Structure 1
C-alpha cells in the first residue's frame, strides 16, 4: 500500500494541505463512512515512517480488527478515500478562483428558482467585475455566465424583448473565446518555433481578420491586445514593430494580468530576442538583458518565490557577456537563495565561474567550475564547454586536449542526446582540437603558414552547418588572424 497512488498523492501534499484534507474527510457533509476516516488517520500516522508500517495487512487490521484479511474490502475503502481526494482537489481549486464560487451560487439559485438570491448575488458579482483590473479569460467567462443567467431570467420572467443583457452575454463570450484562442495560439506557436511541431489553428486567420476589421471594439481590452501583439511578433517575426509594442506594454501595465500570465508574456518577449540573437542580430542581447531586468523589478521571474535555474543562468550569462560585471555579481548573490534548494550550489558555482571567465580571472573560474556536479546533461555540456574555453585562455594545451577527448567520448556514449546534437558537438570538438593544435603551436609555423592554416580552418567552420558554439570558434580564428597581422 505504501506505493499506492493514494498514499503517494497524500505524501505529496504540503503539511497545511494534509490538515485541510483531513478536515475535509472528517466533514459529515462530504463523508459519513467511518472506515474511510480511519484509513486516512492510519495513513497520516504512518506516512513518514518505514514502508512496512503502511502494509496492506496492517492497514486492514487497523480498519477491521479481529477479521481475516480481505484485500477487496481494503480496496473498497481506499477507493472511497481516493474519490474524496478528487473532490477535495475540486474544492481547493474552486476556492482559488476569483469568481467560480459566486457563479456556481448564481447558477444553482437559478436552477432552484431562488431568484432573490440570484439577483442579490448577481449585483454583488457585477460590482466585483467592474472593479477588477485583470481582464483575463477567467474574467470574461465569469462575465459571460453572469449575463447568461441574468439574461435568461429576465427574458423568461419579465421582458422577452430585453436585449442589452443578452448582447453583453454575446460580447463577453466572444472576448472569452478570442482571448483563449490567442493565448493558446501564442503558447503553441512558441512550441512550434522551438520544437518543430505543427498544429491546425482552425479559424485563427478568420479571428485575426475579424480583429483587424473591428479593432475599435477591442483596443481597450488590454489582455486581447497584448496576446494579439505577442502572437503577431511570432507570425510576423521580420516586423520588429510587434515586439517593440509588446515591450512597451510590458513596461506600462502588468496589473491587467495574473502573475502566471505576466511570466508567460515576458517569456514570449525573451524568446523573440533569443531568436533574433540566434539569427545574428547581436543588438538584441541588450534588449533581452533590459527585459530580464524589467521582469525582475516586477517580480515576474519568480514562481512561488523561486527563480528558475535556467532564467538565473540566462540573466547571468547576458550580464557577463555585456560586461555588466558589478550588476551581475550582485544578481548572483541576491538571487542565490531564491534558487530551488537542490539546484542552488550547482547554479551558483557554474554562473560564478562564467562571470570570472568573462572578467579574465581564469584561475578563479576554474576553482568555481570544478565545484559543479554533473547532475544532468545540460550542466555537463555547459560546464565542459566553459572549462574548455578557460583552459584555452590559460594555454594549458595538455589539459585542454585531454578534456576534448574525454568530452568526445561522453558525447558519443550519451543516450539522452539526439543524433543531430551529437553531430553538432563532435564537429565542434574536431574543429576545437584543430584550432588548439594550430594556435598553441604557432611558434613552429612561419607567419604566412600560420595565417594560411587559420584561414583554411575558418573557411571549413563557416561552411559547416551543424557546429555547436560556432561563434566561439570563428571568434578565436579571427583573433588568431589579427594577432599575426
Structure 2
C-alpha cells in the first residue's frame, strides 16, 4: 500500500485540500462512478491521524465490496482511478489560480461564439489588470502578447474594415518576453556555474547583446535590470556593474514588483558572497545591507517565513563585523520565523557561532553537537568552526584528525562546486601548514594566506600566522 502513487500524492494534501477534494469527488461533472468517493472517505481518517497505520489491502477491499472475494487487481484499478482523479483535482486547483489564463481562454471562447458583450466585459476587466511593467509573474509579457494576439484574431474573425494595432502589440510584447526570459536563463546559468559543477552553453553573443542595448527594449525595467545582472556575472571584476545593479534594485523596491525582485536580489547577494570569498571585505557590509532590505521589504520572506540560508548567512556576516549584540538580537527576533523543520538546526548552529565569537567555546561545542548535519552548508561551516575551536583550545590531536577527514570528504564529494571545494580545501591546507610552521618563520605562510584564492576565514588564519610570527 505504501508504494502506490495514490498514497504518495495524498500525503501532500493539507487539510483544506482534503476538504476541497471531497467536494470535487462528489460532483458528477468530474466523476460519475461511486467507488472513488467511497475509497477516498475510507482513506481519509488514516491520513488525518498520523499515528494510525494504513489499512491492509484485504480490509480496504472488504469495506468497498463486502459481498465479493478479495481481488487484488480490482482494488488496484480503484486505487488508480482515485489517483487520476486526485491528479486532475490538483491540476484543476492550479488552473483556478491562474486568473489571467482563465480570462484569455474566456476571450477566445466569446470571440469564437460571437458573444460581443461578453467579450467586451472581459476585455474591460483584463485591461484593468494590465500594468505598464511586469507584476510578480515572470510571464507578464507573454500574457500581454497573448492578449493582443487574441484581440487580433477577433479582428480578423470579424473582418473589420479599420486600422487595428494589436498585431504590433503582440509582436512587441513577444520580443519583450523573449529577451526577458532569455536573460533570466543566462543569469541563472552564470550564477549556478559559480556554485555547482556545471558548464552551461550561455549562447548570448556580443551581437545579440549589442542589438538589445541599441533597442528600446532596455527601457523596460526588468529587462534593463537583468541585463545589468548579466554584465555583473559575466564581468565580475568590473565593480561598476554591481553598483548599477544595486541602484536599479533600490529604485524598483516598493513599486509593486515584490516577487519579481527576489531573484535579482539573490543574484546581488551571491555576487557579494563571491567577492567576500575573494577577500574583499567591503562587500560584507553590502551583503548585510541587501539581506536586511530583502527581509524588511518581504522580498526574502516566503509565506511570512525567513529561509534558514538567509538566516544563517546574515548571522555569519554580522558576526564577521563583530556586531555581536546585533547578531544576538537577530537570532532572538527571527528564529521563530524559520520553517519549523529547520528551526532547531538553524538556531543551534548559528547560536554556536555567536558563542564562539563571544569566547564561550565550550558552550559553542555543546550547540554544535546538537546540530544534525543534514545540510551541506551547515556541515562545511561546522567543520571550520570546530577546527577553530580545537586550535584555540590546544586540542591538536582532535584538530589533525578533523583536518584529515574534512579534506578527504571535500576531495571525494562530487556535489560541491570546484570553486567552493577549493575554498575549504585551501583552508585545510593552510591551517595544516601553519601547524607545521615554526614560530618566527611565518613570513611565507602569511603571504600565502594573503594571496590564496578562494579562501574561507582568511582573517582568522592571518591573525594566527601573525601571532605566531611574534613568538
| Shorter-chain TM-score range | 0.7 to 0.9
Matches within 5 A, 1:400-479: 400-406=396-402, 408-409=404-405, 412=408, 417-418=413-414, 428-429=427-428, 431-433=430-432, 435-436=434-435, 450-452=439-441, 454-458=442-446, 469=457, 472-479=460-467
Task: Name the SS for the 2:198 alignment partner.
Answer: coil
Equivalent residue runs for 1:84-103 within 5 Å: 84-103=85-104
Distance 1:100 1:423 in 2: 47
Normalised TM-score (structure 2): 0.88
Cross-structure match for 2:80: 79
Deviation of 1:406 (Å): 4.5
- What is the deviation of 1:60? 2.1
Match of 1:149 in 2: 150
1:254 matched to which residue of 2?
Answer: 253
Q: 1:255 to 1:32 in 2, by over 3 A?
A: farther
After superposition, the Cα gap between the structure-2 partners of 1:423 and 1:161, relative to the gap in structure 1 and judged at 3 Å, is closer
Quote the offset at 1:12 in angstroms.
Answer: 1.4
Question: What residue is the counterpart of 2:28 in the other structure?
Answer: 28
Cα distance, 1:468 vs. partner? 6.3
Please tell me whether the aligned partners of residues 223 and 256 of structure 1 are also in contact (alpha carbons under 8 angstroms).
no
**Relative to structure 1, is the Cα distance of residues 127 and 310 closer, same or farther in structure 2, using a 3 angstrom cutoff?**
closer
Could you tell me whether the CA contact under 8 Å between 1:270 and 1:288 is conserved in 2? yes
- Give unpaired runs (5+ residues) of structure 1: 439-448
CA apart distance, 1:247:
0.9
What are the superposed Cα offsets for residues 309-349 of structure 1, whole Å, 9 maximum, x if unpaired?
A: 22211101110111222222111111111122232223222
> How far has the Cα of 1:127 moved from its partner?
2.0
Once the two structures are superposed, the pairs formed by residues 217-366 of structure 1 within 5 Å of their partners are 217-219=217-219, 221-255=220-254, 259-366=258-365
1:17-56, aligned counterparts within 5 Å?
A: 17-47=17-47, 48=49, 53-56=54-57
What are structure 2's unaligned runs of at least 5 residues?
Answer: none
Contact 1:136 1:257 in 2 (8 A): no
Shift in Å, 1:32:
1.4
Is the contact between residue 135 and residue 256 of structure 1 (CA under 8 Å) also seen in structure 2?
no
How big is the alpha-carbon RMSD for the aligned residues of Structure 1 and Structure 2? 3.1
Give me the whole-angstrom Cα distance separating, in 1, the residues matched to 2:252 and 2:409. Answer: 50
Deviation of residue 130 (structure 1)?
4.1
Aligned-partner SS, 2:130: helix
Q: In the alignment, does 2:113 pair up with 1:122?
A: no
Q: Are the counterparts in 2 of residues 57 and 69 from structure 1 also a CA contact under 8 Å?
A: yes
Give the secondary structure class of the aligned counterpart of 1:194. Answer: coil
CA distance in 2, matches of 1:386, 1:49: 38
**Secondary structure at the residue paired with 1:450?**
coil
Check conservation: 1:412, 1:422, Cα contact below 8 A.
Answer: no
- Number of equivalent positions: 467
Deviation, structure 1 residue 430: 5.9
- Which digits, 9 at most, give the CA deviation of each residue in 1:230-286, with x for residues without a partner? 122112222222221221222222345654433211110001111222233221111
User: What is the aligned partner in structure 2 of residue 110 from structure 1?
Assistant: 111
Per the normalisation by structure 1, the TM-score is: 0.85
Moved more, 34-43 or 348-357: 348-357
